[in-house]
Chain A
């Protein structure tokens, strides 16, 4: 079990005990004792205490380490000098590969420390390739450590409704997918959008400043249980019930298992679902548009 660029001890406190590390299973009757846990990170976080092996790499060198590992599993030569630049030695990587191959079922959990540093999407792609290639030797999978509650659900819903998991452009009336072009940060920083609907997120607190400036320039609409930073720069804010606390529905766990919510409170506010449906119905009453050949919207 490899955790890469994540700190579950602090960010996903029950990950070890409920799902991954200490649970007993049919083929691992002794739970923790039957598992090997490796942590790869740039810093020794509290999660390192739980690990059998902690590999500290230099910041921004994830992609190089992944690439070296992919070469070593196939017995290809690697340059010890370039490996040394990552903060590890070839021997450490060879030892890791030996343990990976000896596993009956391996998993790489990768966190934001991997997917948000230098390399970004390419790092995630590298880990997925590494896991795929490990299947020539033993069963191996990779799984992202998801931060927000139902971010997995949004991947799922968009996947089965548009064919793509995120960053889907429907401007032409059919879905197009291109991370980096249709991803929010890039769109907002370039100033491409001329309106925004923000659902249960607070980009006004987390986006790069040019993105926030753009949100303040265009009509922004926020649906949130609280008046957020983004609400303050928006034209319209609608308060909604808090998902899971007072709004019912379904959410996906990070391993793509759908779970029902059991709200304990009754909110005085409508749910997100209800408000979005009402906005959708209000839009649907207006004449429909379709894209015309010159790229402009035509009303039909």
Chain B
């Protein structure tokens, strides 16, 4: 298996967002980190690109992403006061989409900041 090295990678485990980390990736796993603290290291090693979970679940049963997206859109559209919550472990690009979505479904959008 080939080893790929990513320099100056960014850790997003905690709010420090250290951007000077070297990652050694082999296939679906990160095998080595340089520069990260122990929390960051275990975070990087913990997340793999393996297919451990079904693509989507509807009512607990495996489903396709297409169906799940459709079901999600219906639930959110039908609701009078949907809540969009979380946002802390996703990218700014995704957060922007989330604000847009919250606007067109007429919902409340909130993050971990409110805790």
**Residues of A bordering B, CB below 8 Å:** 11-15, 18-19, 112, 116, 145-158, 161-162, 165-173, 179, 182-185, 187-188, 192-201, 203, 218-219, 221, 223, 225-227, 231-232, 234-239, 241-254, 258-273, 275-280, 282-284, 286, 288-289, 291, 297
* Chain B, interface SS category: mixed
Given contacts A273-B93, A280-B101, A286 and B77 within 8 Å (CB-CB): yes
Nearest A residue (CB) for B70: A282
- Shortest distance between the CB of B73 and any CB in chain A (Å): 4
- Shortest distance between the CB of B68 and any CB in chain A (Å): 5
B90 adjacent to A200 (CB under 8 Å): yes
Q: Provide 7 A-B residue pairs closer than 8 Å at the C-beta atoms, listed in order of the A residue.
A: A112-B115, A168-B109, A171-B81, A219-B75, A236-B56, A254-B17, A262-B7
Q: Which residues of A contact B40 (CB under 8 A)?
A: 13-14
Report, as a range, how many residues of chain B touch the other chain: 35 or more
Nearest A residue (CB) for B112: A151
Chain B, range 45-77, C-beta contacts under 8 Å to A: 47-60, 65, 68-73, 75-77
Q: Mark B15-27, 1 if CB is under 8 A from A, else 0.
A: 1111110010100
A19 adjacent to B16 (CB under 8 Å): yes
Q: Which residues of B contact A179 (CB under 8 A)?
A: 114
* Cα A286 to Cα B106 with chains together (Å): 13
**Residues of B bordering A, CB below 8 Å:** 4, 6-20, 23, 25, 28-30, 37-40, 44, 47-60, 65, 68-73, 75-115
Q: Which residues of A contact B29 (CB under 8 A)?
A: 265
- Shortest distance between the CB of B29 and any CB in chain A (Å): 8
Nearest A residue (CB) for B44: A245
Q: Which residues of A contact B93 (CB under 8 A)?
A: 249-250, 273
